[in-house]
Amino acid sequence: MMQTEEFQKLGKKGKYSGSERLDPNQFEEPDIDNAATRKIWLEDSINSPEYQQEVRTNLLRWKKVIGETLDPGKLHWHMVGQSHIDMAWLWRYGQTRKKAIKTFEKAIFHADWFPNNFKFATSSPQMLDWVKEDNPSLFAKIKDYHKKGYFELVGGSWVEPDCMMPGEESMIRQRLYGMRFYRDEFGVLPETEWFLDSFGYNIGLPQILTKSGAKSFWTTKITWNQQTKFPFVNFLWKSPDGSELLTTNFGQNTEILENWNDYRYGYHLLKETGRKNWNYGIDYTNFKDHVDLNQIIPDVGYFFGLGDGGHGPSHQNMVEAINFEKVGNDEKMHFHWSSVSELFSNLAKYKDKLPIWEDELYLETHRGTFSVHGEVKRHNRRLESLMRSTETLATILSISNPTFEFPYEILEKTWKLILLNQFHDVLPGSSIVEVYDDVVDLWNMCDSNIALILNSCMEKIHSDKYPVGIFNPLSWKRNARIFIPISEVDPNITLDTNGKPPQAKFYYLTDLGEECSLCQPVAAEFKDGMKNNSEGWWMILEISGYELIKGRIAFEDFESPSLFVTSEGIPRMANGITSLSLDPKSGAITEIKSVNVNDGENLVYGNKSFLIEGYKDRGYDGYPAWNLSKKYWTKPKMYSQTQELKIEVMDEGPIFSTLKISKMLGESPISQILRLFKDDPVVYCFWTADWKEIKTMLKITLDTETQAKEVTVDEMYCALRQSTLPDTLADKARFEKTMHQYADLSTTDNRWGIALLNEGKYAFDVSAGRIRLTLHRAVRYPNPAAESWVLKERAARKKLNGSKPPVYSGIGPISARFAYYPHSGGCLTKSNKKSNPEIKKVAEEYNFPPLVKKISGDHDISLQLNDFEFLVQDNVHLTAIKRNEWEKRRSIIVRFAEVTGYSTHATVFLPGQLYDKILEVKECDFLERHISKQTVIMDKMENILKFTIGPFEVKTFELILTDK
């Protein structure tokens, strides 16, 4: 029984666990190795005939299996020690810092003990940075042992993140900060990315990795598949832009040997007549028919060491590896100490005869991680978007105002906090509850830092008696929905009985003088942990790309025709572009119509759309947070859709109208809000609940009339088409899918479609014309590891008042926002076969609302930001404008992405406030290093940039500025 001695407390309670926090500095990480294990393994067993016979028995067993398809004596096993350390999982971040110290100390010990045959690969710059901070002398030793050749740097991302959900710019920052740390501290840039444990890999990664210095990639995770065996071991992974990355997929430790038979054909080269290009729509169960059994790839990796909680390689791991080499040579199983770089250098010789994989790398398990713990997903997206918007504003101000000190330090610090929380057991929601206490603290730090940056920006802008600033963080002109919270006007405004502020008008300055826009009051949204909107006003305002508009709120009544909405009879609403009708008996959407879409006919069918369906969801295999219940669709909850049903008009006005559906779903009160805005085709949806049922998953349906055969899914800098009626076993296994900003169903002739937009909900499923968003999961948290310090915290809590942390996530107040966008044309292509950038554009606008902030400057000179619009073709988006961070010289980094899959000769008209400051333009990689082949043309007479950008290609340029 655990002792409950007194511990030093931090004086605060965790938001999610409710436990009083203990000071982690008082605890030490227990080491699995000690003097006793050292004697057992390093002294007694290493040369023991009995142990060597045990090793020989295993090697002969594996040799027999390998020998069924090739000569084992022709293989060269590259041995490299490593230790996977989860930044947080069944323990907190603070404990990981000490796990790292124990692991690196042990690696140095083994280098000293085995000076002629030890190599240790380490992959996390963030972890090394922690060691540098916590134990400088150990960090100095690591640098020394790296110089001596014992330590090999791999990876290059700040942490090993989830590789499906983070935004594309976040993945670039992972690489930028990680590789810069390696350069600054070790003087090297590794060429092998190291994401061994993410729950799937986004198809956009090859472009991001190859353009940030990677030439190869290792993972183990796709060997975890449950429905099929992914047969490819060595292959080229290809993004839609054409970037190819040498990739290998094999298990760590002896998993590669124990599971050899499942992947035996992956060690052969392709036949001359073998299929070269593969994806999930092609049956790969016959892959063996495409390889030449007489041609092998002789180089095989053996990457070994205790992992997850670090401490590897252990003494036992080391003795086993050394005897693999010693005994293996006797048995013609050739193990030798090597390096990751040597393995991939040898594999690269066979690139021309490797298969090419042109799809995501989908993991056929852990599908529940895309939806569990919804707050983590929502705040990740919210902070990604807010950070990019804030950085854009600060960058533009630094160009326009030489006195503005660019906040390099705080921006980088904030990005790194966001990146840390994208770790592959944190963002997926698969950590213990106490980890999320730490995560919410980091979110709060991010919000505080961003507020400081925005305040410093607004201090540089003279109010001119117009104290409210509105900044468009996107590069194009838009008719924007703008929410003005009362906190940016006057937090002491008196609210009416419905919780709304008074009617108001927004007066703002233009080149033609003062203009006015109506502001419709709105009550505060549902209160939970999602940082939903407070009381305030909505308005519609045309705003140019990167423009900052200054204005003031005036409390003035107005009369203006309201958008149509009614809850009487058949509940309906319309805004002149889109209209919808509800079933009064259930709240289902029975009709959506939109001007110029499907000839004005209904876009949905049946009486199930917008209904929430529940399923029993216990997970399986001891992984409730990770896994959906097997065949969950056979275990419906059978909720009544009429229990305490109420449909009412919530808002009615000239800017927007709102219908609210309230009901009980089983034991839980829920509401579903539908909102239409003036001159906007999008149907905006908001779901709230005080959720009470455990072991439950919720999905919300939209049955479209598209009869779509494909769903087009937004991914990292690309879009991925997937079948809605899959044929192959592997494609069918992708029944739970992930998206970034949208998933779209369009007709096969590209006449029209409907896109499901989201701002932090990633999981969905499709079948023909049906699309269902995974709305919520309430499942069991994992248990802490045996060595986890939180067990002491729990024991202290139990001793104090007998209470425990929550067992299940997803219980209590919860909400989610999403939207439906009916559109003409297909998702990427119009019916005339021209590109259609509108879906991505609307999705970006949904995820990047204008920033609204009180202006606090009182300078005599008014700084105007109304001439910073970049004009370029609609299918080419300017996705980042930032300061150079690789060298921090006087220059601006701009990044352009083609978003529809069409090669384009891009012409960029530069903004007036920028072009006369540009000295030179250079094309860069994602690390902001100049590339060798420069094709960009700058025409200073016309103030334009010209370059060719391929389908889904991303191009980055450095605008080197003058000293003016």
pLDDT at 863 over 80: no
Q: What mean pLDDT do residues 390-406 have?
A: 92
pLDDT on residue 866: 63
Output the six-digit token pair for 743: 């998933």
Give the per-residue SS3 of 588-617.
CEEEEEECCEHHHCCCECCCCCCCEEEEEC
Neighbours of 912 (CB within 10 A): 12
22-35: pLDDT as tens digits: 998 899 999 999 99
Output the six-digit token pair for 231: 């047969």
The span from the CA of 428 to the CA of 882, in Å, is 29
Neighbours of 455 (CB within 10 A): 12
pLDDT on residue 9: 78
pLDDT on residue 805: 97
DSSP 849-892: PPEEEE--B--SSPPPB-S---B--TTEEEEEEEE--SS--SEE
167-191: pLDDT as tens digits: 999 999 999 999 999 999 999 999 9
Q: What mean pLDDT do residues 20-49 have?
A: 95
Residues paired with residue 363 on neighbouring β-strands, in sequence order: none
pLDDT at 251 over 60: yes
- 763 close to 736: Cβ distance less than 8 angstroms: yes
- Give CA separation, 453 vs 348, 387, 406, 410, in Å: 46, 10, 9, 8
pLDDT on residue 682: 98
The span from the CA of 492 to the CA of 494, in Å, is 6
- Give 674's contacts (C-beta < 8 A, 6+ positions apart): 573, 580, 582, 589, 610, 658, 659, 660, 661, 683, 684, 685
pLDDT at 932 over 90: yes
Radius of gyration of the chain (CA): 29
* pLDDT interval class at 463 (50, 70, 90): confident
- Give 301's contacts (C-beta < 8 A, 6+ positions apart): 77, 78, 80, 218, 248, 250, 256, 340, 343
- 624 close to 373: Cβ distance less than 8 angstroms: no
117-163: pLDDT as tens digits: 899 999 999 999 999 999 999 999 999 999 999 999 999 999 999 99
Looking at residue 38, its amino acid is R
Q: What mean pLDDT do residues 841-845 have?
A: 98
pLDDT at 4 over 50: no
pLDDT on residue 5: 60
Phi and psi based region of residue 492 (left: phi greater than 0; alpha: psi -120 to 50; beta: remaining): alpha
* pLDDT interval class at 3 (50, 70, 90): very low
pLDDT on residue 862: 44
Q: What mean pLDDT do residues 912-928 have?
A: 93
Percent of the chain with pLDDT over 90: 93
DSSP 23-87: PGGG--PPPS--HHHIIIIIIIITT-HHHHHHHHHHHHHHHHHHTTTS-GGG-EEEEEEE--B-S
The span from the CA of 794 to the CA of 786, in Å, is 13
Output the six-digit token pair for 84: 């996977």
826-837: pLDDT as tens digits: 999 999 999 999
| Cis peptide bond prior to 115, omega within 30° of 0 | no
The span from the CA of 361 to the CA of 182, in Å, is 27
- Cα dihedral 772, 776, 778, 784, rounded to 10, equals 110
The span from the CA of 406 to the CA of 883, in Å, is 9
pLDDT at 10 over 90: no
Coarse DSSP helix, strand, coil percentages of the chain, rounded to the nearest 5 percent:
25, 30, 40
710-762: pLDDT as tens digits: 999 999 999 999 999 999 999 999 999 999 999 999 999 999 999 999 999 99
Residue-averaged pLDDT of the chain: 96
214-225: pLDDT as tens digits: 999 999 999 999
148, HSE (Cβ side, Cα atoms, 13 Å):
16
pLDDT on residue 865: 62
- Give 231's contacts (C-beta < 8 A, 6+ positions apart): 263, 265, 266, 284, 285, 287, 288
- 523 close to 486: Cβ distance less than 8 angstroms: no
The span from the CA of 473 to the CA of 299, in Å, is 49
pLDDT at 254 over 80: yes
